[in-house]
Structure 1
């Protein structure tokens, strides 16, 4: 919320740039205030805001993620989840409540897959990360799956 930073963010729209927000759950309140200041700027929350999955922290994170998702200019990346769980013992069942929450809040039109490679290597590999997401979305429509696995990123980043 520093004036110089906000001034820099205000210049992004002029150039049709996006902005990735890499935060932790304790920063979600400030992030909500921040994105509300720029309703015409496209933002994406990286790594679903790195919830403390290993510690089972959910409610506070979920409440603020739902509020942020009400800002239609904000997207969210399904990434970085296995590194927030226990590196050695994580299971899809531990991570799915977090994935369900962001799918419900952002919808398939504002979620995008991210591998978090090479950081994911501390808790798995690319194949495990990708299958975590593809297995999670397998019952969605083909269009919803395509959106989340690439089309949304192409649109968001103008690739």
Structure 2
């Protein structure tokens, strides 16, 4: 088994206020273009071999943009794009897009949907049911309030590969939410569900956290999923709101020092390689 190190979660974009309206006033530091030439030196400096580019915008245009970047830059090992899973013609779209081996999975920004039960809509479930046929994964982007419907959803699709992004975005304030902890434990019982140790620094006080703040949350994640279903993700460049790339990586690598080398290698790359079929 190779010891490949993969950042399972990062983004690229050409910034424009109309297409990136989610980047609000306190987020000036990321109101600009972030492209492969910006990330590659950071990966090299941090001993990472590659990355998976994740959608940040709900458009096929962005999905094609990311696939094109991955084609040009071999360090981008795959793309998690967006297609409208609720669309009537989703079967036809998947058939077309799945011809590109660089497309590894799909994601929807469920956290922004006004309906907390969006993922249980019949049309969404219909679209999701087609992913397994094409060997595509699904990234779950939610807040803790969505964990109950998500558990219901993953139970309906035991053969679909899911990964929970950003440990479901709990508020990192020193108080573990028992609801979040309960549902992570329940999701962790499903062997088809993985979890990304990512996006944590932006759920803490921006730039005012210390590494120890994340330990209780990582304890819950590791207890729930086991090291064989957890993967490192930087959430670059969004992480820059609260931390530099190296600081984000160091949170996890320091936490992992209590584990044997084989487990460190799984979390820092091998799990992502397996999950996304890299």
| CA displacement, residues 50-109 of structure 1 (integer Å, 9 cap, x when unaligned) | 011137352111011101111110000000001001113211211111101111110110
Q: Show the counterpart of 2:101.
A: none
Structure number with higher strand proportion: 2
Q: Show the counterpart of 2:195.
A: 76
Q: Show the counterpart of 2:223.
A: 104
Find 2:263's aligned residue among 131, 144, 148: 144
**C-alpha separation between the residues in 2 aligned to 1:139 and 1:32?**
30
Q: Show the counterpart of 1:113.
A: 232
- Shift of residue 121, structure 1, vs aligned partner: 0.2
| CA displacement, residues 126-148 of structure 1 (integer Å, 9 cap, x when unaligned) | 00000000000012111100000
| Segments of 4+ moved more than 4 angstroms | none
- State TM-score, norm by structure 1: 0.97
Which segments of 5 or more consecutive residues in structure 2 lack a partner in the other structure?
1-119
Instruction: Summarize the alignment of residues 1-159 of structure 1 with structure 2, pairs less than 5 Å apart.
Output: 1-54=120-173, 56-159=175-278
**C-alpha separation between the residues in 2 aligned to 1:35 and 1:90?**
33
**C-alpha separation between the residues in 1 aligned to 2:250 and 2:174?**
23
Return the index of the structure with the highest Cα Rg: 2
Structure number with higher helix proportion: 1
Conserved 8 A contact 2:174-2:213:
no
